A and B are shown apart, each in its own frame.
Chain A
Amino acid sequence: MDFVNQLQRKFIDYSSSLHREGIVDDQFTQLRKLEDENSPHFVMEVASLFFEDCEKLINNMAIALEQKQGVDFKQIEECIHQLKGSSSSIGAMRVKNACIAFRSFSGAQNREGCLRCLQQLSHEYSLLKNKLQTLFRVSVASRCLYVCLVIFCRENEHAEPFPDVLVFQLEKQIVAAGGSIPRVH
């Protein structure tokens, strides 16, 4: 059981690190509150939607900035507006800030500046996506494992309390998330 507690702590630590690093802010916490028995994967769903949306907008902006005839800054501004709205709604703070910076350049119709901002935006987006996906993987896996553990652990004091496969997967994910595996028993 100690292992499970450690696991849960790892998960909490990881998610607080996201807040500390500014990758997500309070709005994200609000979203987590929306998860209940009726919509247990709400955050994951919204995040997936956001990822899709974000990728599309970044793509559109990239294409717009490449236009030789002339850059349609109005279109870019619209994209930024959309992205700022979405990122602010889900609490993706750094993405939102990148959008704000981007907007001033697009307002000034500065193509170079816009390109730099777009790059920054892409970077922040990838970072967010990576971190959130890891968070989700660990949370789902740890939920499964916890349940299996609690039920079957008590039965076998001598034998392995849970299937090797699950442990292995989980260990991989924890390590991938930057954690370490405590040695148990």
Chain B
Amino acid sequence: MDKGLPAKREITFETELFGSKTFLIYVEPVFSKAGETIGINYMGMDITDQVRKRERMIKIREEIAVQKAKETELNRTIHITEETMRAKQMLATMSHEIRSPLSGVVSMSEILATTKLDREQRQLLNVMLSSGDLVLQLINDILDLSKVESGVMKLEATKFRPREVVKHVLQTAAASLQKILTLEGNVADDVPIEVIGDVLRIRQILTNLISNAIKFTHEGKVGVKLYVVPEPPFAKEGSQHGSDGSTVNQTTTNVPKEETCTSTSQTSSDQRGFHGKKHEGSCQNRSQSEPGTPVMNGKIDVTEEQAELPETTVWIRCDVYDTGIGIPENALPTLFKKYMQVSADHARKYGGTGLGLAICKQLVELMGGRLTVSSRVHCGSTFTFILPYKVSLSCDHSDDSDDPDDLSDMDDHGDSDDDATNGFFQFQPRTLGSLFSSNGSSRTQKLLAHNIGHVNSHKINGFSENYCSFPTSNGQAKEMDLVEDACSVAEALEISSEPECSFSHSPDHDSESAICRGRRHHNDVNAENKVSSIDVSTYSETSREVDVKVKISEPQLPAERQGRSDSGSQSTLNTSQEVSNSISKPKILLVEDNKINVLVTQSMMKQLGHTIDVVNNGVQAVRAVQCHSYDLVLMDVCMPVMDGLQATRLIRSFEETGNWDAAAKAGIERPSPSSDSLQPDCTPPKHIPIIAMTANALSESAEECFANGMDSFVSKPVTFQKLKECLEQYLP
């Protein structure tokens, strides 16, 4: 009214009868002719419905936006997952491809190391070897990690003796120790003599932690302490993954997604803690997923199951401690992340891939345990992992005791008993040599001898396919078994080491390259050595225990690397497989002197599905035709010794006359008749299609080719198209 202007407004009334109603009020002043406001026009519209509709529209639009966002996110995830799958596939393939030539390099270097070299050469070679090993190790680590993540890794359950594992790992570490450090191991008395677990993985974890400790400790000691603890709180909780309820000093705050593989397999409600198969048949934790592992069903189930089965679970805690440089507080949270090193400087100074701890953590958690760390800078660090182990109550099996037949000349009953109960060891680097020579060799013999008789009690030290050439005859078959076992195990866990003096008469210690090659040649070797495959099948899975040598990830190399006598033969074995006999396929002969042309043509033919025989000049071509019957001949024209034109003439003369007189006149002796499909002289020899391969030189004109008996020609360079046309035209 005051302003004299119309106005409209929305006003909401609360009515008792009809609820909340909204009206659109329009008011306008009415003016008299004179301009005075004399009243108002008032209009009201019930727009309640419209308002409601409006609000709903807004809500709907919001929902649509949210939905769209979810969709894009989902699509993105799908893409990423697909890519990841493909990439992992590619990684596995590529890793193998990278590994193969690398192991070739490493093996060759090892062979080279056995030859006479001067000091400088030897030094260079050592660098080569250590670099190669390091890269191989990196690849193995990456492969391991992706395997654990993708859930492909399966856990074993084997009986083993913790004291021996600890002792062995320390021994191995001490053997390649280059610093003045004391290595000690202490196994508490309440730790059972034998437990059931995945000894390989445990060994891997232990070795990794110890090698880390050694790497970062320059003086003082590195040690392992093993003792029994009561069931930790995290095992009882179990429902959330990532709950760090254990009493140990927890520093792993961020739980990476990979853990879902382990945790969800144990915590998702549709799994009763037995076969937690969330992923493609993975995360299988057969015997371990029984009592004691974190089962979210609560304590009741645990005790129930415990009552049913004749085995108990014991939780053993392992501390790997050192007096090294320590880890700063701020680095602790990211310590177990992949590729994380404490700092860039650390990475540069100490090397390493940053993958070891990530792998350890995943493995520990996969087995139902926890890995933690506590540290003080300049004082030292302690890495702790707690794992559940099953213990068989019927502990003293007959297979534990020594089979007297296999003992041959060794008196080591005393040894094994000591090992079984002895809980304390200490190793110093220098004196280790004597320790091994007095103890090691006999121990080695004992171990080897025990292999067949003992299914589990003694650790069997590593192997390589070299052991094929092992001098001891009774050891031979056994080593092959080890190779077989190792190879199949090593496929999941590729680590190896070179304890340089573990074997007094071993030609060498293996390395990853051996295992990798062992894998490749695995089939070859097994095909040759039937003994191994038979023997392996007689081993029972659960009680067999095979150790894989573990590698210390130090950049320095142990002093001696002895060569392999049969590695050369092994590699040729592989290449010889490429020469296949195509009895049913058409026989094609390539006559070409230029190596590169041969390689290219051969590869193209291979892709077209044919394997070809190759000779390098006209004389060889004639001889080849004399010995075998070919369906097609590709003949280069310009060749040394005898060119293609003359060779063709001679072959044609044989076809026309039925004899090789012309060839003999040209100086080619007829070889003694071979059994391979020689045409008998009574029937006229078949006309072999001969294709000239010309380089378009003046002396290689088409007419000349035809005049000399060629059926056709292709001009170089040879391409797929040309070859395909030839084959289509001249092969039936």
Are A and B physically bound partners?
yes
Taking Cβ atoms with an 8 Å cutoff, the residues of A that contact B are 26-27, 30-31, 33-34, 36-37, 39-42, 45-46, 49-50, 53, 81-82, 84-86, 88-91, 143-144, 146-148, 150-152, 154-156, 159-160, 162-165
Q: Which of B80, B84, B98, B597 contacts A86 (CB 8 A)?
A: B597
Tell whether, in the assembled complex, residue A81 and residue B695 are in contact, meaning their CB atoms are under 8 Å apart.
Answer: yes
Residues of B within 8 A of A152 (CB): 338-339
Tell whether, in the assembled complex, residue B597 and residue A160 are in contact, meaning their CB atoms are under 8 Å apart.
Answer: no
Residues of B within 8 A of A85 (CB): 594, 596-597, 695, 716
Q: Is chain B's binding surface mostly helix, strand, loop or mixed? A: helix
Residues of B within 8 A of A37 (CB): 93
Give Cα distance in the complex from A72 to B633, angstroms: 34
Tell whether, in the assembled complex, residue A164 and residue B88 are in contact, meaning their CB atoms are under 8 Å apart.
Answer: no
Give Cα distance in the complex from A82 to B337, angstroms: 56
Q: Does B537 contact A (CB under 8 A)?
A: no
Given A37-B93, A49-B595, answer yes or no on A151-B638 (Cβ-Cβ < 8 Å): no
Q: Does B706 contact A (CB under 8 A)?
A: no
Residues of A within 8 A of B146 (CB): 151
Residues of A within 8 A of B84 (CB): 150-151, 154
Given A152-B338, A154-B80, answer yes or no on A46-B719 (Cβ-Cβ < 8 Å): no
The 5 listed contacts between A and B (C-beta, < 8 Å) are: A46-B603, A82-B594, A154-B80, A159-B334, A164-B344
Tell whether, in the assembled complex, residue A147 and residue B90 are in contact, meaning their CB atoms are under 8 Å apart.
Answer: yes
Tell whether, in the assembled complex, residue B600 and residue A155 are in contact, meaning their CB atoms are under 8 Å apart.
Answer: no
Tell whether, in the assembled complex, residue B337 and residue A53 are in contact, meaning their CB atoms are under 8 Å apart.
Answer: no
Tell whether, in the assembled complex, residue B603 and residue A40 are in contact, meaning their CB atoms are under 8 Å apart.
Answer: no
Q: Which of A88, A143, A146, A160 contacts B339 (CB 8 A)?
A: A160
Tell whether, in the assembled complex, residue B93 and residue A144 are in contact, meaning their CB atoms are under 8 Å apart.
Answer: no
Residues of B within 8 A of A148 (CB): 142
Residues of A within 8 A of B91 (CB): 147, 151
Q: Which of A33, A91, A154 contacts B717 (CB 8 A)?
A: A91
Nearest A residue to B607 via CB reads A34
Residues of B within 8 A of A154 (CB): 80, 84
Give Cα distance in the complex from A36 to B604, angstroms: 12
Shortest Cβ gap from B714 to chain A (Å): 13
Mark out the residues of chain B between 587 and 613 whose CB falls within 8 Å of any chain A CB in the assembled complex.
Answer: 594-597, 599-600, 603-604, 607
Nearest A residue to B693 via CB reads A85
Tell whether, in the assembled complex, residue B594 and residue A89 are in contact, meaning their CB atoms are under 8 Å apart.
Answer: yes
Tell whether, in the assembled complex, residue A89 and residue B83 are in contact, meaning their CB atoms are under 8 Å apart.
Answer: no
Give Cα distance in the complex from A89 to B603, angstroms: 12
Residues of B within 8 A of A53 (CB): 595-596
Tell whether, in the assembled complex, residue B87 and residue A150 are in contact, meaning their CB atoms are under 8 Å apart.
Answer: yes
Mark out the residues of chain B between 43 and 89 whose CB falls within 8 Å of any chain A CB in the assembled complex.
Answer: 80, 83-84, 86-88
Q: Which of A45, A89, A165 contacts B718 (CB 8 A)?
A: A89
Shortest Cβ gap from A56 to chain B (Å): 11
Nearest B residue to A147 via CB reads B91
Give Cα distance in the complex from A36 to B257, angstroms: 34
Residues of B within 8 A of A39 (CB): 603
Residues of B within 8 A of A88 (CB): 695, 716-717
- Top 10 A-B pairs ranked by shortest CB distance? A150-B87, A86-B596, A88-B717, A34-B603, A89-B717, A89-B597, A85-B594, A147-B91, A27-B717, A89-B600
Residues of B within 8 A of A165 (CB): 347
Nearest B residue to A1 via CB reads B83
Shortest Cβ gap from A66 to chain B (Å): 24
Tell whether, in the assembled complex, residue B594 and residue A42 are in contact, meaning their CB atoms are under 8 Å apart.
Answer: no
| Most chain B beta carbons < 10 A, residue from A42, A53, A85, A156 | A85
Given A53-B595, A85-B716, A89-B716, answer yes or no on A34-B604 (Cβ-Cβ < 8 Å): yes
Tell whether, in the assembled complex, residue B257 and residue A155 are in contact, meaning their CB atoms are under 8 Å apart.
Answer: yes
Shortest Cβ gap from A164 to chain B (Å): 7
Q: Does B7 contact A (CB under 8 A)?
A: no
Give Cα distance in the complex from A154 to B82, angstroms: 12
Shortest Cβ gap from B85 to chain A (Å): 10
Q: Which of B353, B354, B719 contacts A27 (CB 8 A)?
A: B719
Q: A34-B604, A150-B86 are in contact. List 7 more A-B contacts (CB 8 A).
A: A45-B599, A46-B596, A82-B594, A86-B597, A146-B87, A159-B334, A164-B347
- B 692-732 to A, binary, CB cutoff 8 A, 1 in contact else 0: 00010100000000000000000011111000000000000
Give Cα distance in the complex from A45 to B256, angstroms: 42
Q: Does B117 contact A (CB under 8 A)?
A: no
Give Cα distance in the complex from A84 to B90, angstroms: 38
Tell whether, in the assembled complex, residue B87 and residue A151 are in contact, meaning their CB atoms are under 8 Å apart.
Answer: yes
Give Cα distance in the complex from A160 to B340, angstroms: 9
Tell whether, in the assembled complex, residue B338 and residue A86 are in contact, meaning their CB atoms are under 8 Å apart.
Answer: no
Tell whether, in the assembled complex, residue B87 and residue A147 are in contact, meaning their CB atoms are under 8 Å apart.
Answer: yes
Give Cα distance in the complex from A144 to B98, angstroms: 9
Shortest Cβ gap from B342 to chain A (Å): 14
Tell whether, in the assembled complex, residue B603 and residue A42 are in contact, meaning their CB atoms are under 8 Å apart.
Answer: yes
Tell whether, in the assembled complex, residue A46 and residue B638 are in contact, meaning their CB atoms are under 8 Å apart.
Answer: no
Give Cα distance in the complex from A144 to B718, angstroms: 32
| Most chain B beta carbons < 10 A, residue from A31, A150, A160 | A150
